[in-house]
Amino acid sequence: MDYSTMFRLDGKHAVVIGCGGIGAEIVEGMAAQGARVTCLDAQEEVAAAAATRAAEHSEAAARRADVLDPGSLADVAAQVADVDVLVLTAATNVRKPVLDYSAAEFDRVVDLNLRGTFNAVQAFAPAMAARGSGSIIALSSIRALAVEPGQGVYAATKAGMVQLLRALAAELGPRGVRVNAVAPGVVETPLTEQIRADEAWGRAYAEKSALGRWARPEELVGAVAYLASDAASFVTGSQLLVDGGWTAIDGRFTPPFG
């Protein structure tokens, strides 16, 4: 092991699906570590913007691909050769009590968060397994572990994703492919704008973590780059929490001392 380069991604080809918000930061971060990056997004302009940022550091390309369209994913997978790293970030949420959900809302959250992961892995993992190496990383959430009112369906999809990834880790490990999740806490993204727009709600979320603040999107990059790198060569079937200590002190109460 060359410890001076074990965290670098030189010579690796990374495919990132979902290139807005956190995904855009991951794209640039992996390119800065030397990876060649292919940016995939249902919105072609989002993929192109991420690729432009990445191109300042390494070779980058952009394509339109929809995780809800297995055919389009299969077409891209057939055209994109030698994928070493697959990163999945696409997700959505509808915040409301489970009993208030419509069937259409349920389907929308489950389809993108869970079926989208299934579709992406089915498209790209076979070539990794055939080659005998690869790293698959999906963004889960602290909601896979701790839930609150209004987060039930989203939490179910993220918990389901983690179990799906663990099964894949077991199935693909003998073929040289590692599969892991990164679980963010509360992050300043468009998906959480509703929360941050409410001062009391936003402050309450910040105070739930040990660090007392929200995460910035770029603070997820290190965890993803680590799992993509040779430094994580014996890490699979794991969920890496990047939550500022939220789950360590969930329900915190600081008692009066003395």
Q: Do 190 and 131 contact (CB within 8 A), yes or no?
A: no
- Token pair for residue 180? 């892991």
**CA-CA distances (angstroms) from residue 181 to 15, 73, 161, 164?**
16, 21, 9, 10
Task: Kindly give, in sequence order, each residue whose CB lies less than 8 Å from that of residue 2, ignoring residues fewer than 6 positions away.
Answer: none
Q: Do 135 and 178 contact (CB within 8 A), yes or no?
A: yes
205 belongs to the catalytic site: no
The residue annotated as part of the active site, out of 3, 154, 205, 226, is 154
The DSSP string of 24-69 is HHHHHHHHHTT-EEEEEESSHHHHHHHHHHHTTTS-EEEEE--TT-
Q: Do 15 and 137 contact (CB within 8 A), yes or no?
A: no
The DSSP string of 101-112 is --HHHHHHHHII
Catalogue the active-site residues: 154
